[in-house]
Amino acid sequence: MSELVDEINRVSESQSGTTDGPEESMELGDNPRTADGADEETASQLMLKETLNANEILGSQELADKWLRKVEADPKNFLRNKFQIQLREQGSQQ
């Protein structure tokens, strides 16, 4: 354990005095310039919602891997997305 602490201390010492950190940050002011991003065109067939049941997922390694890539790993993001969808649905029903 002490070897790990010593290694961390060596890395910290080697980085002291560098200009990479909060001391190099700057204020953006009241109207920071932001990027516009890029527009992306997506074919409608790619936007189809695919519903899989547990037997399909468990029966195919390819489908299981595809499903796992789509699963949100961070519960914070999952809940935020869920509540946004619910809010949109409530707004469209009114």
d(CA 65, CA 68): 5
Q: In percent, how much of the chain has pLDDT > 90?
A: 2
- Position 20 pLDDT exceeds 60: no
Q: Hey, what are 12's tokens?
A: 């910290």
Most confident of 49-53, 65-69, 88-92: 88-92
Q: What is the 3-state secondary structure (H, E, C) of the chain?
A: CHHHHHHHHHHHHHHCCCCCCHHHCCCCCCCCCCCCCCCCCCCHHHHCCCCCCHHHHHHCHHHHHHHHHHCCCCHHHHHHHHHHHHHHHHHHHC
